[in-house]
Amino acid sequence: MAFFQWDDKYSVGVARFDQEHKKLIDLTNRFYDAMKEGKGRDVIGPTCRELVNYTKTHFANEELALAKTSYPNLAEHKREHNLFTNQALDLQKKVESGEPVVISSIGNFLKNWLINHIQGTDKTYSKYFS
Ligand SMILES: [Fe+2]
Ligand SMILES: [Fe+2]
């Protein structure tokens, strides 16, 4: 079983963003598996970078789409995105410099953040796309 499984309850009701969230889950699993399997920095580094880069792409896509709706919480939503992006970039720096990391706590941090953000914050935009 994958470390992070998609569940239909994570759906935000916008097909495009469900797809992007599934891809984030997939990239999180790839990064987690690479760490868990004890792969070298040459493998773990790029999987981490891919996750961080795609996270930035996804956030930009959401923010752009939301700006075209009457969604009222965009500023706060962006703040959450920016905070997480900074944390993810810190993580990337650690991983790329080969600093020892605690795999389970990184995995759980990423997974919990994504679940909480999707279910708590992203779901508040559902009705602005219907
Ligand atoms: Fe999202
Ligand atoms: Fe979001």
Note the pLDDT tens digit of each residue in 37-85.
Answer: 999 999 999 999 999 999 999 999 999 999 999 999 999 999 999 999 9
Q: How far apart are CA 113 and CA 96, in angstroms?
A: 21
| DSSP one-letter code for 7 | -
- Kindly state whether residue 13 falls inside one of the protein's structural domains: no
CATH number of the domain to which 69 belongs: 1.20.120.50
The domain tally of the chain equals 1
What string of H, E and C letters represents the secondary structure of 49-68? Answer: HHHHHHHHHHHHHHHHHHHC
User: Ligand 1 centre from 122 Cα, in Å?
Assistant: 6
Residue 11 lies in a domain: no
CA 109 / ligand 2 centre spacing (Å): 16
How far is the centre of ligand 1, averaged over its atoms, from the C-alpha of 118 (Å)? 6
Domain assignment of residue 41, yes or no: yes
Domain residues for 124? 35-129
Ligand 2 center to residue 123 CA distance, Å?
9
Confidence of residue 130 (pLDDT cuts 50, 70, 90): confident
pTM for the full predicted model: 0.96
Distance of CA 35 from the midpoint of ligand 1 (Å): 24
**62 occurs within a structural domain:** yes
Residues near ligand 1 ion, CB 5 Å cutoff? 122
- Across the chain, mean pLDDT equals 97
What is the Cα 42 distance to its own chain's centre?
22
> How many A from CA of 90 to the centre of ligand 1?
20
What distance in angstroms lies between residue 47's CA and the mean position of ligand 2's atoms? 21
Q: Is residue 12 part of a domain?
A: no
